[in-house]
C-alpha cells in the first residue's frame, strides 16, 4: 500500500481497512466507510459523464447533510474542486462567489430552490443544476444524477498538488477571496489536527458548524484520517447537541465560544449525560474566563482552543493548559491562543518583515504543510498574503518565552485615538470582566477631536441592568483611561460571520457613524 498523498487515498484506505466501521451518522442514516466511498466514486463518475474534467468546480449550496459530504467525497475521489457557497449570504454575494469560482455544476438543497431561481440568470458558468431532497424547475434530482454514474468511479484521480477545495473567506476586510486548498495540504492538516486532538478510530465527533467553512471540514478530515465516526447535525441547536452527545456517545465536538455559552444556558446542560465527552474544540475567538469556568464545572476539563485561518493552520491551547483556578502564570496562558501546532512555523514581524524579539508586538506569520496554494483569480492578494511560504495573517500579536501566542488585534481593527494605538481586544477583555456583560465587540468610530474614539457594542446578561457610565467607569479600573470606551451601544445580539467570528465590517456599517 502506498503512503496516502491525496484525500482519495484516505477514502480508499478507510474503505479497505475499516469497511464496516461507521463513517457518518445523520439523523437515521448510518453510512459505513465502504458505503461512503462507493457513493462518492459513483457521484464522481456522474460528474465526469456530465462533461466535467479534473479541477473543474462543483458548487454546493446546502446546510449540513449527507449529500454535502458526498459532494465533497466525489470531488476528493476524482480531482474535481468543491466550491462551497455560504447560504447565509445575500443573493448578490452568492452570485459573485459562484461566478468567481466558475462552478460548472451547482448542487443545492431544495430549501434554496427559490434562491437559485432568483440568481440563475446572473450565473455565467453553471451548466448543470442538481437539487437535493426535492424538485426544482430546470434542475436534475440528486439521486438520479448519482444513479447515472459508474460504480468504478471517474477515469482519473487527483494529484497531491491539485486543488481540493475552493472556500471563500468571510470577507472581514472586503470582498470574499477564494482560498485554494490542495489535497496534500489538507492531508497534512488532517494529520496535524488529528495529532493535536488525539483522534482514533473509536472517536465519535459531532459537527454542527457549517460545512461550507473550513473549520467544520478540516475537523471532519482529522477524524476520518483515523477512520473514526462523524455525527452530523444540520445546524446549531443546543437541545439537539445535548441529545446527540448523550445518544451517540460523542467524544469530541467543535464549537465557537458563543455557541458554548448558549449551550451552557440550556437548562439541560447539567442534567444530560455528557460523560463520553473528552474534548470540546473551540475556535474563532478566545473563551471569556467566566464562560470557561462554567464550562469546566458542567463538562469537566475538556476544552481545547485552535487558532488559525482558512489560509493555514496555527496554534493550539491544549486541554491540560486550561487552568482558570491556577497560579498567575496559568491565568496568563489562558489569555493566549496556545503554542504552534506540530509542523507549524510561527513568527512575529514588524512592518518591514523583520523578526521581532520575544514579547514585542507585530504581525503574526504562519507556515505549515497545510498552507493554501493561493487565492483564486487574485494574484495580487496572493502575493500580498503568501510570501516565501509564510501566510501574513493580518493579525497582530506577540509570543512569550515559552512560545505561547497572544492575539492583540487585527491590523485593520487597531484604533488610533489622539495619536495612541488602542487594540480593540484589550478593551473587549476589560469590558467582559464586568459581571453583567455577556458579550462585547469594540470598534473605532470617527471623532472630530481625537480622530477615532472607542465604541463598545455590548450584550448584557438576561435581566441585567447597567448603564453606559457604569461600564466606562469599570473599564477605567482595568485599562488606561485613554483606552476606555467613549461610546457604549447596548444590543440584543452582536452580528457574526458564519465562522462564529464577530463581523467587525458590518458593525462599523451599523454603528460607526456617530
Q: Which residues have CB under 8 Å from 490's CB, separation 6+?
A: 458, 459, 460, 468
Name the residue with higher pLDDT: 121 or 447. Answer: 121
User: 53 and 86 in contact (C-beta within 8 Å)?
Assistant: no
Walk me through the domains of the chain, giving residue ranges and CATH numbers. 7-20+27-159 (3.40.50.12780), 196-410 (3.40.50.12780), 414-511 (3.30.300.30)
Residue 172 predicted with pLDDT over 50: no
Residue 173 predicted with pLDDT over 60: no
Residue of 427, 403, 407, 400 lying closest to 415 (CA atoms): 427
378-430 pLDDT tens trace? 999 999 999 999 999 988 899 999 999 998 876 677 787 876 778 788 889 88
Residue of 76, 57, 61 lying closest to 376 (CA atoms): 57
Lowest mean pLDDT among 166-170, 286-290, 356-360: 286-290
DSSP-derived letter for residue 121 is G
User: 393 and 364 in contact (C-beta within 8 Å)?
Assistant: yes
99-136 pLDDT tens trace? 999 999 999 999 999 999 999 999 999 999 999 999 99
C-alpha cell, 144: 438520479
Mean residue pLDDT of the chain comes to 92
pTM of the model: 0.85
Measured between alpha carbons, how far is 413 from 342 in angstroms, rounded to an integer? 29
pLDDT for 513 equals: 75
Residue 174 predicted with pLDDT over 70: no
Note the maximum CA span of the chain. Answer: 70
Give the length of the chain. Answer: 514
Residue 514 predicted with pLDDT over 80: no
310-334 pLDDT tens trace? 999 999 999 999 998 899 999 999 9
Residue 486 pLDDT grade (very low, low, confident, very high; cuts 50, 70, 90): very high
Mean pLDDT confidence for 463-476: 93
pLDDT for 419 equals: 65
Residue of 112, 141, 111, 119 lying closest to 128 (CA atoms): 141
DSSP-based three-state secondary structure for 274: coil
176-233 pLDDT tens trace? 899 999 999 999 999 999 999 999 999 999 999 999 999 999 999 999 999 999 999 9
Tell me the percentage of the chain whose pLDDT exceeds 90.
78
pLDDT for 482 equals: 80
How far is C-alpha 30 from the geometric centre of its chain's CA atoms?
A: 25
Amino acid at each position: 500500500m502506498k503512503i496516502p498523498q491525496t484525500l482519495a487515498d484516505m477514502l480508499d484506505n478507510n474503505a479497505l481497512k475499516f469497511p464496516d466501521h461507521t463513517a457518518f451518522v445523520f439523523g437515521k442514516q448510518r453510512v459505513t466507510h465502504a458505503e461512503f466511498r462507493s457513493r462518492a466514486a459513483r457521484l464522481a463518475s456522474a460528474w465526469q459523464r456530465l462533461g466535467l474534467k479534473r479541477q473543474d468546480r462543483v458548487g454546493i449550496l446546502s446546510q449540513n447533510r449527507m449529500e454535502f459530504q458526498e459532494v465533497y467525497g466525489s470531488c476528493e475521489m476524482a480531482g474535481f474542486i468543491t466550491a462551497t457557497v455560504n447560504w447565509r449570504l445575500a443573493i448578490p454575494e452568492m452570485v459573485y462567489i459562484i461566478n468567481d469560482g466558475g462552478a460548472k455544476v451547482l448542487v443545492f438543497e431544495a430549501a434554496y430552490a427559490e434562491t437559485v431561481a432568483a440568481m440563475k440568470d446572473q450565473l455565467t458558468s453553471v451548466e448543470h443544476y442538481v437539487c437535493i431532497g426535492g424538485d426544482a424547475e430546470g434542475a436534475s434530482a440528486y439521486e438520479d444524477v448519482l444513479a447515472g454514474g459508474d460504480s468504478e468511479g471517474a477515469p482519473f484521480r487527483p494529484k497531491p498538488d491539485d486543488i481540493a477545495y475552493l472556500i471563500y473567506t468571510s470577507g472581514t476586510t472586503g470582498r470574499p477571496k477564494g482560498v485554494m486548498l490542495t489535497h496534500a495540504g489538507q492531508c497534512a492538516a488532517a494529520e496535524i489536527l488529528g495529532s493535536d486532538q488525539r483522534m482514533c478510530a473509536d472517536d465519535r465527533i459531532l459537527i454542527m458548524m457549517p460545512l461550507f467553512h473550513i473549520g467544520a471540514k478540516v475537523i471532519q478530515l482529522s477524524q476520518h484520517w483515523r477512520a473514526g465516526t462523524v455525527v452530523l447535525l444540520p445546524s446549531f441547536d443546543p437541545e439537539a447537541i445535548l441529545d446527540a452527545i448523550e445518544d451517540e456517545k460523542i467524544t469530541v465536538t467543535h464549537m465557537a465560544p458563543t455557541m458554548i455559552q448558549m449551550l451552557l444556558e440550556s437548562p439541560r446542560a447539567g442534567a444530560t449525560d455528557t460523560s463520553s465527552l473528552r474534548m470540546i474544540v473551540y475556535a474563532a475567538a478566545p473563551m471569556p474566563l467566566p464562560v470557561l469556568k462554567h464550562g469546566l464545572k458542567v463538562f469537566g476539563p475538556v476544552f481545547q482552543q485552535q487558532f488559525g485561518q482558512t489560509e493555514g493552520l496555527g496554534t493550539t491551547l491544549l486541554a491540560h493548559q486550561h487552568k482558570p483556578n491556577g497560579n498567575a502564570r496559568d491565568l496568563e496562558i489562558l489569555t493566549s491562543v496556545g503554542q504552534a501546532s506540530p509542523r507549524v512555523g510561527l513568527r512575529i514581524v514588524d512592518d518591514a518583515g523583520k523578526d521581532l524579539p520575544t514579547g514585542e508586538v507585530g504581525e503574526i506569520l504562519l507556515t505549515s504543510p497545510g498552507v493554501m496554494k493561493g487565492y483564486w483569480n487574485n494574484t495580487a492578494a496572493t502575493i500580498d498574503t503568501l510570501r516565501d511560504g509564510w501566510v501574513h495573517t493580518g493579525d497582530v500579536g506577540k509570543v512569550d518565552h515559552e512560545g505561547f501566542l497572544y492575539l492583540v488585534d487585527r491590523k485593520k481593527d487597531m484604533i488610533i485615538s489622539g495619536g495612541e494605538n488602542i487594540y480593540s481586544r484589550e478593551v473587549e477583555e476589560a469590558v467582559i470582566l464586568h459581571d453583567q456583560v455577556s458579550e462585547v465587540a469594540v470598534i473605532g468610530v470617527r471623532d472630530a477631536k481625537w480622530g477615532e474614539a472607542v465604541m463598545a457594542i455590548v450584550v448584557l446578561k438576561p435581566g441585567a441592568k447597567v448603564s453606559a457610565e457604569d461600564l466606562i467607569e469599570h473599564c477605567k479600573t482595568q485599562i488606561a483611561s485613554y483606552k476606555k470606551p467613549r461610546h457604549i451601544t447596548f444590543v440584543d445580539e452582536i452580528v457574526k460571520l458564519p465562522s462564529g467570528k464577530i463581523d467587525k465590517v458590518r458593525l462599523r456599517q451599523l454603528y460607526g457613524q456617530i
